[in-house]
Amino acid sequence: MSLTHNVHRLERAVSLATGATAIVAGVCQGGTSGVLKALGGAALLQRGISGHCVVKGMISDPKSELECLRESVADLRAALPKLQKEMERVKGRQENRLDHAVEETFPASDPISP
């Protein structure tokens, strides 16, 4: 079961405009209240882009909404091992670059300084 579009065209447009405005205002404002404003704007932006609102879904059809959320959590859990493996691969590559950079900076043929 996938998330259904429960936010209609006009609501999406308003969410997109309001979300983008809140993000810009929050970033310009700064501080804790600015961060909270930007996060709220990001939630509105996500609502407008996806066309789905969890709160609206919980009000209109809570059983279906909870089932969709359970499926999303299961999908994320299934993707986690792949993500962890990729992170380990990237970390290993970064460590190799660091080792190479150290070797290039301090060649073995140079005498040790007193």
Work out the pLDDT band at 28, boundaries 50, 70, 90.
very high
Residue span of the structural domain in which 8 resides: 1-60
Predicted pLDDT at 73: 93
Residue 77 resides in a domain: no
pTM above 0.75, yes or no: no
CB under 8 Å to 72, separation ≥6 — which residues?
Answer: 3
pLDDT tens readout for residues 42-60: 999 999 999 999 899 889 8
Residue 16 resides in a domain: yes
Residue 12 scores a pLDDT above 90: yes
Work out the pLDDT band at 112, boundaries 50, 70, 90.
low
> What amino acid is encoded at 60 in this protein?
S
Q: In whole numbers, what is the pLDDT of the chain averaged over residues?
A: 88
Q: Considering its fold, how many domains does the chain have in total? A: 1
Predicted pLDDT at 39: 96
Sign, CA dihedral 24-27-33-39, equals positive
